[in-house]
């Protein structure tokens, strides 16, 4: 039996891919996995690939409707969880999960629960999950994603099969992106700077809307010298609106999934699903905003290379004229302050500051710094 094609998305993690492929093809899939690794190592991408392989009737072909639903986070049997508060998971989140675990799958033969930032499972929320992790019903797979085993509660780690992830070297990530997307090395390098991992970079390259967000960011930075404050605010508004465009299709798919399952769920369960869908859209918007910030940071790093006179190729080769124009009127100290504004913006997003306000503050700070 061949390895599920869905696992091709993690080709840059060959050991993980081989491990999961063997477990699936030999029917030895564990009920609980703990994916651990640094940010950018592709843990969530791997969780998504595993979920596709589990629920797809074709063994994870990666192209059918079931696989597309998983990728869009709209499959009713694949549940994505993220901390509902800045301090971690809420006990009610885990209680809702436990109540759902006992229900039969709606479309697939199995159910998958992907718990991101599992290191934020603490106190009552963690204790509530322990028994279910230890003795889940048949046909249920948990995938927890965290940074390190040391950051997790030992009682949770002991109930999971730990799968370590390594951060790919830049060259390996570049070649994986080129191989998966068919893009040029130049475009793959840009996509990795924005999206972080080969799997997400490939998705970025295949999305006209996400690439348009980057173009707007480049245009905004290139025009800061001549724009007044009103122009800068308008740029922030355009970028924030562009980030939301890809969410329309996801929202439609969510509504379709709710409609399909409305006959089987209680009103309380429907409210819980709608709340989860709303959180998912918010998380997707935040992810799109992080890509916009990454695009700004990447361009400014290229400007810093020019200001320092470093004999090194820039990442944003398609925007070389913009990079040179900004560098010609900037200083190293100013660019460093501008990069700090990008870091501050990412911190504000993590504190749930509105996307547009975050962009406005960042662009105005970069304008002042440069």
Q: Which of the residue ranges 45-54, 245-254, 303-312 would you say has the lowest mean pLDDT? A: 245-254
Task: Give, in order, the Cα–Cα distances in Å from 318 to each of 4, 217, 218, 299.
Answer: 36, 13, 10, 11
Q: Which of the residue ranges 5-9, 213-217, 301-305 would you say has the lowest mean pLDDT? A: 5-9
Please report which confidence band the pLDDT of residue 213 belongs to, taking 50, 70 and 90 as the band edges: very high
Q: Inform me whether the pLDDT recorded for 253 exceeds 80.
A: no
- Mean per-residue pLDDT, 171-182: 85
Crossing angle for the helix pair 267-308 and 229-244, nearest 10 degrees? 130
pLDDT of residue 294: 94
List of E strands, the chain: 32-36, 78-81, 111-115, 140-146, 161-164
- Mean per-residue pLDDT, 261-290: 74
Q: Is 300 within 8 Å of 337 (Cβ atoms)? A: no
Predicted structure pTM score = 0.68
* DSSP, res 90: -
How far is the C-alpha of 353 from the C-alpha of 328, rounded, in Å? 33
- Mean per-residue pLDDT, 227-232: 91
pLDDT of residue 42: 82
Q: Inform me whether the pLDDT recorded for 269 exceeds 70.
A: no
| Beta partners for residue 33, in sequence order | 143, 161
CA proximity to 154, closest of 133, 135, 138: 133
Task: Give, in order, the Cα–Cα distances in Å from 175 to each of 183, 187, 223.
Answer: 10, 12, 33
pLDDT of residue 184: 93
Q: Which two tokens stand for residue 39?
A: 């940010």
pLDDT digits (tens, 9 = 90+) for 108-142: 888 999 998 888 888 888 888 888 888 888 889 99
pLDDT digits (tens, 9 = 90+) for 341-356: 999 999 888 777 888 8
How far is the C-alpha of 180 from the C-alpha of 307, rounded, in Å? 34
| Beta partners for residue 163, in sequence order | 35
Domain ranges of the chain: 5-164, 207-369
Question: Which has the higher per-residue pLDDT, 315 or 87?
Answer: 315
Which superfamily does CATH assign the domain made up of 5-164 to?
Answer: P-loop containing nucleotide triphosphate hydrolases (3.40.50.300)
- Mean per-residue pLDDT, 218-228: 93
* Percentages of the chain per state (helix, strand, coil), in multiples of 5: 65, 5, 30
Q: Inform me whether the pLDDT recorded for 86 exceeds 70.
A: no
pLDDT of residue 114: 94
- Mean per-residue pLDDT, 72-76: 83
pLDDT digits (tens, 9 = 90+) for 185-194: 999 999 999 9
Please report which confidence band the pLDDT of residue 147 belongs to, taking 50, 70 and 90 as the band edges: confident
pLDDT digits (tens, 9 = 90+) for 43-62: 888 999 999 999 888 877 76
* DSSP result, 13-62: -HHHHHHHHHHHHTT---SEEEEE--TTS-HHHHHHHHHHHHH-TTSS-S
- Mean per-residue pLDDT, 266-290: 76
Please report which confidence band the pLDDT of residue 337 belongs to, taking 50, 70 and 90 as the band edges: very high
- Mean per-residue pLDDT, 323-351: 92
Task: Give, in order, the Cα–Cα distances in Å from 339 to each of 81, 230, 363, 365.
Answer: 31, 22, 11, 10
Q: Is 271 exposed, middle or buried (0-12, 13-18, 19+ CB in 10 A)?
A: exposed
Instruction: For the beta carbon of residue 39, count every other beta carbon within 10 angstroms.
Output: 11
Task: Assign 177 to helix, strand or coil.
Answer: helix
Task: Assign 139 to helix, strand or coil.
Answer: coil
């Amino acid at each position: 039996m061949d390895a599920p094609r869905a696992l091709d998305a993690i080709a840059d993690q060959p050991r993980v891919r081989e491990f999961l492929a063997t477990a699936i093809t030999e029917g030895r899939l564990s009920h609980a996995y703990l994916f651990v690794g640094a940010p950018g190592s592709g843990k969530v991408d791997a969780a998504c690939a595993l979920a596709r392989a589990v629920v797809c009737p074709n063994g994870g072909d990666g192209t059918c409707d079931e696989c597309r639903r998983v990728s869009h986070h709209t499959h009713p049997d694949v549940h994505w969880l993220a901390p509902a508060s800045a301090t971690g998971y809420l006990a009610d989140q885990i209680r809702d999960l436990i109540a759902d675990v006992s229900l039969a799958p709606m479309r697939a033969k199995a159910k998958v629960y992907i718990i991101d930032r599992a290191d934020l499972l603490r106190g009552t929320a963690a204790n509530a999950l322990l028994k279910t992790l230890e003795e889940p019903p048949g046909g249920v797979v948990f995938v927890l994603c965290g940074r390190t085993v040391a950051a997790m509660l030992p009682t949770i780690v002991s109930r999971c099969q730990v799968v370590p992830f390594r951060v790919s070297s830049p060259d390996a990530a570049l070649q994986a992106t080129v191989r998966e997307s068919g893009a040029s090395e130049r475009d793959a390098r840009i996509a990795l700077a924005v999206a972080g991992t080969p799997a997400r970079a490939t998705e970025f390259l295949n999305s006209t809307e996400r690439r348009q967000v980057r173009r707007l960011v480049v245009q905004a930075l290139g025009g800061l010298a001549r724009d007044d404050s009103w122009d800068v605010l308008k740029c922030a508004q355009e970028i924030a609106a562009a980030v939301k465009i890809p969410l329309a299709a996801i929202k439609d798919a969510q509504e379709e999934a709710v409609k399909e399952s409305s006959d089987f769920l209680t009103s309380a369960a429907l409210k819980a699903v709608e709340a989860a869908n709303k959180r998912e859209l918010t998380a997707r918007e935040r992810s799109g905003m992080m890509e916009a910030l990454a695009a700004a940071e990447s361009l400014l790093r290229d400007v810093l290379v020019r200001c320092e006179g470093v004999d090194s190729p820039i990442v944003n080769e398609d925007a070389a004229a913009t990079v040179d124009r900004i560098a010609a009127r900037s200083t190293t100290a100013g660019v460093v302050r501008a990069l700090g504004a990008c870091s501050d913006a990412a911190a504000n997003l993590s504190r749930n500051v509105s996307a547009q306000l975050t962009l406005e503050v960042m662009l105005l700070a970069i304008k002042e710094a440069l």
